[in-house]
């Protein structure tokens, strides 16, 4: 099932009420366009929200200067969504995706997280937290990374 098969309300919840910045700097060059200061690679912890998942920072540093670098992106998605689509919110951190997959009141309604391997040039910084990115490549098949309803 793709996101097109979701009802309007489900689609809006899946996509989020706001969208990532398609003009943000690409994962492989965070200094592009002057949006980020020079110290983003040496002090990335300055540019994250409440926590700095090391996985996001590692991937960011590995991709630097290489638009063809294969990055792993994650996102929370309703069961049955098997693609990461152009314009989707993504993260470089499995843990960050898992936090966003949690239902606020009922753990039985937690979403799975999915992941895909994509070129760094298709991942753009959303602009406010190095854990939050947008995917701007063609739709890619994703695999389930974690499904809380199928864990023992």
Q: What is the pLDDT of residue 2?
A: 40
Q: Are the CB atoms for 81 and 14 separated by under 8 Å?
A: yes
Q: What is the pLDDT of residue 47?
A: 83
Burial of 117-132, coded b for 16+ CB within 10 Å and e otherwise, reads ebbbbbbbbbbebbbb
Cα–Cα distance between 69 and 119 in angstroms, integer? 6
Per-residue pLDDT of the chain (152 residues; tens, 9 = 90+): 344 445 556 555 555 555 788 999 999 999 998 889 999 999 988 888 766 578 999 999 999 999 999 999 999 999 899 999 999 999 999 999 999 899 899 988 899 999 999 999 999 998 888 999 999 999 999 999 988 776 64
Report the DSSP pairing between strands 123-125 and 133-135: antiparallel
Q: What is the pLDDT of residue 53?
A: 77
Q: What is the pLDDT of residue 141?
A: 97
- The range of the structural domain enclosing residue 112 comes to 3-150
Query: What is the number of structural domains in the chain?
Result: 1
């Amino acid at each position: 099932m793709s996101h097109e098969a979701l009802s309007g309300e489900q689609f809006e919840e899946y996509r989020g009420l706001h969208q990532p910045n398609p003009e943000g700097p690409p994962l492989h060059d965070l200094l592009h366009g002057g949006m980020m200061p020079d110290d983003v690679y040496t002090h990335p912890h300055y540019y994250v929200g409440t926590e700095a998942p090391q996985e996001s920072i590692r991937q960011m540093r590995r991709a630097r200067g290489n638009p063809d670098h294969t990055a792993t992106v994650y996102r929370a998605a309703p069961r049955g969504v098997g693609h990461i689509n152009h314009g989707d919110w993504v993260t470089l951190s499995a843990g960050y995706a898992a936090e966003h997959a949690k239902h606020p009141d009922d753990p039985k309604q937690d979403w799975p997280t999915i992941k895909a391997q994509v070129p760094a040039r298709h991942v753009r910084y959303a602009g406010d937290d190095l854990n939050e990115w947008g995917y701007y490549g063609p739709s890619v098949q994703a695999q389930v990374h974690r499904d809380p309803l199928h864990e023992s």
